[in-house]
Chains A and B, each alone.
Chain A
Amino acid sequence: MRGEALSVLSGHPETGADPAIGRAAALLGGARRPVIAGLGCDVDGVRAALRLAAALGASVDHAARAHGRSELRVLADSGVMTTTVAEARHRSDLIVLAGPGAVAWADHAKAFADAGGLYSWRGERGVLCLATGGARPAHVATGTPVAALGDGMSLHRVLSLLRARVGQKPVAPLPGNGPALAAIDAVALQMKSAAFGVMIVDANDADHVTLDALQALVKDLNKETRFTTLGVPAHHHGRGAHLVSAWTTGGHLPVGLGRGYPEQDDWVHDAERRVTAGEADALLWIGALGPDLPAWAAGVPTVALIHHGATANTADVVIEVGVPGVTHGGVLMDAVRDGFAAVDAKAPQPLPSVAAVIAGIEAALIGGNP
């Protein structure tokens, strides 16, 4: 694979990846506290990155921070109720879009563009927007007008009010521009009346406290009916990477392997914090699926694995890798069907995979020919 690969040194193309892999191995192998980050790659890439981290004693993090720091934190703090896109589409008679990111995703993914027809007994689908800042979906099929609450309020505030009213607790008088109590109660009733409601939220719209409140509201609703949630998929294969980490190391990212066993710690092993605080002395950035090398990487010796067309001007060693599902096959989390799927190359090219490059680096580390 490497013989035909194109490699780049300090932003300038260079033919043949082997020398670049040797330099990457030297840069990473000589570091005392390396970090592997970005991690936008397929399952085999994540497996390889974790294995390399074990060999180097590195920290590993993924770029989809909101998913890791908020969504997975709430899962570990208090648990979650969730469903799949397909169940939400077919079974749900009330789609609740909580926050503007949920509206944007519903439109972009077109997951609810039709009414879904598998369950003939389902009533008409209702759509409710909570704290979406005025955003309304353009591509969600609904049998009734879209309802909304709290366009000018924070999601956390709206969820708190609803949770109080669902539980028949009083709420303090709201400022003049807030919704009337009757409007809150109407939405609470709409939610309680759903047979299978699904609340959709983008972790980028909410901190962990807000997501926790959202899950608490959903659990309350389940005392009398069925209600659940759906998270907007994490970018750059974030969900897939965290799952691979979970079965490989026992926990989600970020994880440190400097002590010979995994230590999961959102703060200690946060890649950006480690680099900007001067705690890291080398960075391996993996961006086969993106994202681009961030500005904070400029402060640390960097090896960047990037896709065609991406740049990594501050990196010391740049290796162009293939893109799973485009230049070569691989396994990726499929956001539409909500599970891992094997994908084929759409336009095969002789570019190395992330896993292959990392295997080369590992081989070079132990003194073999890369």
Chain B
Amino acid sequence: MTTIRLKGGRVVDPVSGATSQRDLYLVDGRVAAALPADGRVDDTYDCTGKIVMAGAVDVHSHIAGGNVTMSRLLLPELHVSEVAGPDGMPFSTAKWSGWETGRLYAEMGYTTVIEPALAPVHALQTHLELADIPLIDRGALTVVGNDDHFLSLLRDREGETAIRDAVAYQLATSKGLGLKVINAGGPAAFHSGLRTFELDDVVPHYGVSSRQILTTLLTAVDQIGVPHPLHVHANNLGVPGAPLTIEDTIAAAEGRRMHFAHIQFYSYGKDAEGMMTSGAEEIARSLEAAPNVSCDVGQVMFGPTVTISLDLMKQWQGAAYASPKKFSLTDGDAEGGGVVPLVYAKTNWINQLQWAIGLEIFLLSPDPWRVMMTTDHPNGGSFTTYPQIIHLLMDSGERARWMEAMPQKAKERTGLADLTREYTMEEIAIMTRAAPAKILGLHDRGHLKDGAVADVAVYDDLADRTAMFSRARYVFKSGRLTVRDGQALGWISGLTSILAPEVDTQMESRMADYITDRFGVGPAAFAVPERAFGDRTIFKVEPCQT
């Protein structure tokens, strides 16, 4: 038995109780509220004056898969490596590599990250890439709703059971942790030449509306018992007036649980001239009225970045604004993907407004359990800006300083300057730990209750929250010290959490026929078997709801 004592830290964990100064024990990779009976302590870390939190959990960050790797190939100039890493940690400073991703997340105190776009036909690549991201646990959300097989089931008015079985098949074979739909029907409509797609628009040749796809999947998620609510990338991303789309989509859910991805990108209102304004208040009201709905923000931060999305329609429109002027667009076997580089410029009033709208959503949030922190990495900005976002949320003075640079045209269109709320450390702990873990169904993390996975981040309690959250003093992954003084110490591998829903044998045989017809090869060519990872242990099966 190995016992680690974190001595005298200020433990911020609203799940296990009020913030207090106390010792925390990590025993054989699990959190223990008290010292084990034998009284032996192997290692003690003095945490006096420091903040002790659970390891952070990211519910939506594009860190692996074909489109992420496409962005690596498209934009070499955005990630030129120029610093050597320490011995024994190859590729730790290789920019945009999986190895660097794992290191950077770990050094901020993150211990679990979810890739939100697992395309079933490319599941093996996504899992190979995830397996090469060290120091963190991973998971991925299986994307459904735009593929020909699924749309044909709807067109042919197949029953709920067949649809449930087909979706369960995709989830199980792709080894996803949840289900996601992207602009339901939009990418399929784009293949057929459409360039816009609303909730009640119909996918050509299938006679199926976006609303129908959405509600069908909401039902399937419940029937399969997926712990994470349907992860929804709604229609009309980035379109002024989209708060109405969100309101309509919430209404369509009829009280069923649903998670909106990167809701900031739907929080754009329009004034009488059709110009963009903040729609954050409308979004906040919609969220307030719908306790069944959660979201992550998708905060925009300034600088060059790249947008990676399976929303082909949006990416085709966005290609006109690409900077540098190049993009990739893949018409895939279901969605495919688009990669468009962008610069969010401090001098651009629309980008400034996007930044302000994201912060407004955080500050108007009715509930930190339902509004979670993301940048939709890298679409709104890099995950490495999280410490700055926390700083902006905890310190109204910091916000005021940033707003000094804001063009008047943007200032007039956001209520951010009037918001005085400052997040508490407890709210940060909920929004970046407890809430994402809970909503993903990862009940063994995101908190420091007795028996939790010993994923722990220890921070110096600095007034400069950016500095504080950029470099954790200590990080423990499953009880092993992985970061000291803001620097990763070496490579260890985490696990990829998956669901393993039962798959109906008849559906298995139907899918085998379909796949063989479509691709000319059978389902084995799409499988994600454990043997593909050699001797490595990769997967951890999480329970479905019963």
Shortest CB distance B413–A (Å): 32
Q: Are the C-beta atoms of A90 and B518 separated by less than 8 Å?
A: yes
B531 lies within 8 A of A119 (CB): no
B88 to chain A, nearest CB (A): 10
Q: Mark A285-324, 1 if CB is under 8 A from B, else 0.
A: 0000000000000000000000000000000000000000
B72 touching A250, Cβ below 8 Å: yes
B36 at the interface (CB under 8 A from A): no
User: Is A279 among interface residues, defined by CB-CB distance under 8 A?
Assistant: no
**Cα-based distance from A225 to B194 in the complex (angstroms):** 9
Q: List 29 A-B contacts (CB under 8 A).
A: A51-B90, A54-B90, A55-B90, A75-B73, A76-B326, A79-B322, A81-B330, A82-B329, A84-B330, A90-B518, A118-B517, A196-B191, A222-B316, A226-B191, A247-B132, A250-B94, A251-B76, A251-B79, A261-B84, A261-B93, A262-B97, A331-B128, A336-B521, A337-B525, A339-B121, A339-B124, A339-B526, A342-B528, A342-B529
B531 engages A81 (CB within 8 Å): no
B359 CB, min distance to chain A CBs, angstroms: 31
Of B21-29, B243-251, B297-305, B331-339, which binds chain A?
Answer: B331-339
- Smallest distance from the beta carbon of A262 to chain B beta carbons, Å? 5
CA–CA, A342 to B521, complex, Å?
13
CB contacts (< 8 Å) of B534 on chain A: these are 44, 355
Which of B76, B326, B331, B528 lies in contact with A87, CB distance below 8 A?
Answer: B331
Total contacts A-B at CB 8 Å? 181
A313 and B303 alpha carbons, distance in the complex (Å): 54
Any chain A CB within 8 A of the CB of B69?
Answer: yes
* Chain A residues numbered 177-213 whose CB sits less than 8 Å from any CB in chain B: 195-196
* CB atoms of B521 and A84 under 8 A apart: no
Given A75-B73, A261-B82, answer yes or no on A339-B125 (Cβ-Cβ < 8 Å). Answer: yes
Tier of interface size on chain A: 35 or more
Of A79, A195, A329, which is in contact with the most chain B CB atoms at under 10 Å from its CB? A79
> CB of B96 within 8 A of chain A?
yes
Most buried by A among B82, B204, B518, B531: B518
B501, CB-defined interface residue at 8 Å: no
- Interface 1/0 per residue, B350-361 and A, CB below 8 Å: 000000000000
Among candidates B69, B91, B93, residue contacting A243 with C-beta atoms closer than 8 Å: B69
Residue from B73, B132, B190 with most neighbouring chain A CB atoms (10 Å): B73
Residue positions of A touching B, CB distance < 8 A = 43-44, 47, 50-51, 54-55, 72, 75-87, 90-91, 111, 117-121, 195-196, 222, 225-226, 228, 242-244, 246-252, 259-264, 329, 331, 334, 336-337, 339-342, 355
Task: Using known A-B contacts A76-B74, A247-B97, A339-B122, determine if residue A82 contacts B84 with beta carbons closer than 8 Å.
Answer: no
Interface residues on B, range: 35 or more
User: Closest CB-CB distance, B155 to chain A, in whole Å?
Assistant: 11
A187 to chain B, nearest CB (A): 21
Q: Are A260 and B526 in contact (CB under 8 A)?
A: no
- Which of chain A's residues has its CB closest to B130's CB? A247
- Contact in complex: A246, B69 (CB < 8 Å): yes
Which chain B residue has the least Cβ–Cβ distance from A79?
A: B326
Q: What is the bound-complex CA distance between A95 and B90, given in angstroms? A: 44
B100 to chain A, nearest CB (A): 7
Give chain A residues whose Cβ lies under 8 Å from the Cβ of B74.
75-76, 79
Contact of A247 among B76, B98, B520, B527 (CB under 8 A): B98
What residues of A have a CB within 8 angstroms of the CB of B73 in the complex?
Answer: 72, 75-76, 242, 246, 251-252
A35–B316 Cα distance when bound, in Å, is: 41
9 shortest interchain CB distances as A-B pairs: A260-B84, A79-B326, A54-B90, A83-B331, A342-B532, A261-B81, A341-B525, A250-B96, A246-B72
Q: Could you tell me the distance in whole angstroms from the C-beta of B304 to the nearest C-beta in chain A?
A: 15
CA distance A223 to B527 in the complex (A): 37
Give Cα A110–Cα B367 distance, bound, in whole angstroms.
57
